[in-house]
Copies of this chain bind each other. A is one copy, B any other.
Amino acid sequence: MSTSFLADLFSTIAGSSRALWDISRGQKVDNTPEGLIALCETLMTSRGEASGVAIANSILQGYLGLEDEARLAFLTALTQQFGVDLEKTRTGAEDYLADPSAEAALKLHNAAEPRRQELIRRLNRAPGGTAALVAMRSDILAVMKAYPEFREADRDFQHLFASWFNRGFLVLRRIDWHTPAIILEKIIRYEAVHEINGWDDLRQRVDAPDRHLYAFFHPSLIDEPLIFVEVALTASLPDSVTDILDPERDKLQPDRASVATFYAISNCQVGLRGVSFGSFLIKQVVQELSLELPSLRTYTTLSPIPGLRNWLDTITGFGGPEDDLLHRLREAPKDAWPELNSAEQTQLRELAADYFINRKQPDGQPVDPVARFHLGNGARLERININGDLSANGIERSFGLMVNYVYDLDQIESNHEAYANNAEIVTSAQVRKLVKGRKPPMIQEPAHAE
């Protein structure tokens, strides 16, 4: 394969070209917010064309060198001065209404494009430009609550990022012990679901025979994973993440595994918020694994139930024995979690099933965000597990319960359609049984949509 030519090729992106453009042609750049904004105007004019790459580079390097306050000033100017041209839009709208042709619509479309979009496209010409723009957007997101007017600029970034980080430009890559440290370090840093405690813990997750880790990368973000998923290979559907994370477990030889479990998915780039990768990642990893390990029969998750406890806390009572159980659990110390008998386990499972199937947002989707993600992807709610995660976090979120969503390749599409069209929650028979005939709870106050 021609892999190596390509390989060489992309090494160039970060390396030499970055160095090249550091060679200034002796021009002094005014590194104040005002100076940089003035440079942005230059970049937008035809005058900037000849040395566009150098100007874009100066702006982005300049921005990255600014202190917080100055960055804020820059972003404010970016918001105020590079929005849509209202006057041009007005003319375009009037022209269109006078003669509603496709031609006029296109002119109007262009007229109504915020100037920022062209600016961002031109800034992206700089070497390392994409990374700098992603960083700029994460600055915006960090302060957007306080500066809601930045939302406009944010939308422009998101629009372009969605195009640039199109699935077709992403590359899936297995991460293992041969991966460069600079990438592994970021896996440790970005893991958001089950914290990685240093390099030894990391090695458990990437270098054991029964563990895989996959990430998406983009050619323009050197050394930066976009999103990654951790996979455990097991002999049966797993019910406890503690077992999965146990370094002392018996390690399964991969060719004997029949189940692949996605036990953590972590987004890495704050600046790419809203550009969705997760669904594509899961599906491509399923494909990779199915080619590599033909013994696999089941692709599942072992997922948290982030909204369960919150929801239970809104309920005054069910009028049955579960009320006592809930009371006990609320009082129980996290470090001495009570053993539950079989009846109690069923009660808990029933509560959770009820939560998944009946508790909806105003738009008809389940209140649980993780459920929305996997069901929306076409997965099936398979099983509710007691004591799946007895970490402090797990108890706090869901009294230790976890859940499996199963990705059944033959049904993904129909599941997805049932969910997308009718908000139908596809579940296994065992989960359905748990809700049959339950009385509705006494709700303290209406559940909030998230």
**A13 contacts the other chain (CB 8 A):** yes
Of the candidates B7, B280, B421, the one whose C-beta lies within 8 Å of that of A3 is B7
**A189 contacts the other chain (CB 8 A):** no
User: A26 to chain B: closest CB distance in Å?
Assistant: 8
Task: Find out whether the CB atom of B180 lies under 8 angstroms from the CB atom of A179.
Answer: yes
Chain B residues closer than 8 Å to A14, beta-carbon distance: 1-3, 6
User: A377 to chain B: closest CB distance in Å?
Assistant: 6
Of the candidates B124, B162, B377, B378, the one whose C-beta lies within 8 Å of that of A166 is B124
Given the known A-B contacts A93-B93, A106-B152, A163-B163, are A222 and B180 also in contact in the complex, defined by CB atoms under 8 Å? no
Of the candidates B83, B288, B416, the one whose C-beta lies within 8 Å of that of A47 is B416
Chain B residues closer than 8 Å to A15, beta-carbon distance: 1, 3
* Most chain B CB neighbours (cut-off 10 Å) among A112, A129, A412: A112
Task: Find out whether the CB atom of A6 lies under 8 angstroms from the CB atom of B1.
Answer: no
Look across to chain B and name the residue whose beta carbon is closest to the beta carbon of A283. Answer: B53
Task: Find out whether the CB atom of B168 lies under 8 angstroms from the CB atom of A129.
Answer: yes
Within 8 A of B (CB), among A209-236: 217, 219-220, 222-223
Within 8 A of B (CB), among A4-24: 4-17, 19-21, 23
Q: Is the interface of A mostly helix, strand, loop or mixed?
A: helix
Once bound together, how far apart are the Cα atoms of A284 and B127, in whole Å? 11
Task: Find out whether the CB atom of B222 lies under 8 angstroms from the CB atom of A2.
Answer: yes
Once bound together, how far apart are the Cα atoms of A182 and B1, in whole Å? 10
Chain B residues closer than 8 Å to A92, beta-carbon distance: 93
Look across to chain B and name the residue whose beta carbon is closest to the beta carbon of A178. Answer: B2
**Interface size band for A:** 35 or more
**A164 contacts the other chain (CB 8 A):** yes
Of the candidates B90, B183, B413, the one whose C-beta lies within 8 Å of that of A51 is B413
Of the candidates B3, B16, B86, B198, the one whose C-beta lies within 8 Å of that of A105 is B86
Within 8 A of B (CB), among A249-272: none
Given the known A-B contacts A152-B102, A288-B20, A420-B49, are A2 and B223 also in contact in the complex, defined by CB atoms under 8 Å? yes
Task: Find out whether the CB atom of B171 lies under 8 angstroms from the CB atom of A9.
Answer: yes
**A279 contacts the other chain (CB 8 A):** yes
Task: Find out whether the CB atom of A108 lies under 8 angstroms from the CB atom of B130.
Answer: no
User: A432 to chain B: closest CB distance in Å?
Assistant: 22
**A155 contacts the other chain (CB 8 A):** yes
Task: Find out whether the CB atom of B25 lies under 8 angstroms from the CB atom of A410.
Answer: yes
Look across to chain B and name the residue whose beta carbon is closest to the beta carbon of A410. Answer: B25
Within 8 A of B (CB), among A274-319: 279-280, 283-284, 287-288, 290-291
User: A376 to chain B: closest CB distance in Å?
Assistant: 8
Task: Find out whether the CB atom of B89 lies under 8 angstroms from the CB atom of A217.
Answer: no
Given the known A-B contacts A7-B7, A9-B173, A102-B86, are A377 and B50 also in contact in the complex, defined by CB atoms under 8 Å? yes
Task: Find out whether the CB atom of A53 lies under 8 angstroms from the CB atom of B178.
Answer: no
Task: Find out whether the CB atom of B178 lies under 8 angstroms from the CB atom of A182.
Answer: yes
User: A98 to chain B: closest CB distance in Å?
Assistant: 10
Of the candidates B12, B114, B171, B182, the one whose C-beta lies within 8 Å of that of A172 is B12
Once bound together, how far apart are the Cα atoms of A167 and B130, in whole Å? 11
Chain B residues closer than 8 Å to A47, beta-carbon distance: 416-417, 420-421
Task: Find out whether the CB atom of B178 lies under 8 angstroms from the CB atom of A1.
Answer: yes
**A94 contacts the other chain (CB 8 A):** yes
Task: Find out whether the CB atom of B166 lies under 8 angstroms from the CB atom of A20.
Answer: no
- 26 A-B residue pairs with Cβ-Cβ distance under 8 Å, sorted by A, are A2-B182, A3-B11, A5-B178, A5-B223, A7-B10, A10-B10, A17-B171, A20-B291, A23-B291, A25-B410, A46-B421, A47-B416, A50-B377, A53-B280, A86-B100, A86-B102, A89-B96, A89-B108, A108-B108, A121-B162, A127-B168, A130-B169, A160-B163, A177-B185, A179-B180, A179-B181
Other than the given A5-B178, A5-B223, A23-B291, 14 more pairs (CB < 8 A) read A3-B7, A10-B219, A17-B171, A20-B287, A25-B410, A46-B421, A51-B413, A86-B102, A90-B97, A105-B114, A106-B112, A121-B162, A124-B168, A164-B166
